[in-house]
Amino acid sequence: MTESAAAPLLSVRDLRIVFDGRHGPLTALDGVSFDIAPGEILGVVGESGAGKSLTGTAVIGLLDPPGRVAGGEIHLSGQRIDNLPAEAMRKLRGRRIGAIFQDPLTSLHPLLSVGDQLVETILTHLPVGRAEARRRALDLLKEVGIPAAETRIDHYPHQFSGGMRQRVVIALALCAEPSLIIADEPTTALDVSIQAQITTLLKRLCREHGTAIMLVTHDMGVIAETADRVAVMYAGRIVEIGPVEEVVRRPNHPYTAGLMASIPSVHARHEHLNQIDGAMPRLNAIPPGCAFNPRCGRVEALCREHRPGLPAAPHAAACHFPLKEAAHA
């Protein structure tokens, strides 16, 4: 499902997050805007420190001091949620917004069986009795591919492999039937074959349940296989956003092009892998103009002086000299 096919389920507008420190506030997110439609998977990709996980944390309302939302708005199904009281936001989490985190072992209580954790979550958010909650928990374990679910429902997290634990976490994220799931690096701790199984599972569950997913990852391969659209982040800003196939095959921003060029090809042999020189700037040293300009091989004086905006288009790049224009020149 594309953004134009339905009204946005999640709408983030000009989100700005700062961290207050001894030497003044540091801006970690600066003017981030995007939408996710029902049943859509939006991939959010970039290097470590780009602001991917921080964006998801802000959406789900888990931003801790000294971090704070300093500007912008977050709307879920038309309701503004970034200014909700803590108790109202706590009720929203789990019921309308689910979460899948990177390490499934730290997401599960080690002293409770997975069945107890599922049942308690269902009882907290849905008006059902304990017997019905257990039946739903069992159905969810079967749906996410846990073998012998009738027996495994009473097992503890340490009795599951990493891939099976992540499936349990996905079941937990789905058990209250949320409309949005924030999946923060859900495959990073898994081997490649299990990664493929988890991404396939996320896609199937998204389509069957109509759930929107914000998939945070540093892996463009996972994005290409899983997401409908992708937002590429750099230094707390979205530098390119659009349909996955267009962004992957025809990137418009030099940073996106660099990410794609650094992925080794299975069809060609290379002496050396391409890389983007330099590193992500620190929060207290973000350069003026385009934040990518010190690492960009196409930088001009304009790039160092003026920050480029992100056009309102299905496929847009925040670049004064986008690659698509160079290709047509």
pLDDT digits (tens, 9 = 90+) for 135-178: 999 999 998 999 999 999 999 999 999 889 989 999 999 888 89
Q: What are phi and psi of 316, to 5 degrees?
A: -135, 150
Supply the pLDDT for residue 271.
Answer: 64
Supply the pLDDT for residue 205.
Answer: 83
Range of weakest confidence among 50-54, 246-250, 263-267: 263-267
Average pLDDT, the chain: 90
The pTM of this model reads: 0.89
Supply the pLDDT for residue 329.
Answer: 41
pLDDT at 266 over 70: no
Secondary element (H or E) of residue 246: helix 244-249
Query: Within its chain, how far is the Cα of 30 from the centroid?
Result: 17
Q: Single out the residue of 256, 246, 227 nearest to residue 318, CA to CA.
A: 256
Q: For a pLDDT cut of 70, what percent of the chain falls above it?
A: 94
Domains in the chain with CATH codes: 3-96+178-242 (3.40.50.300)
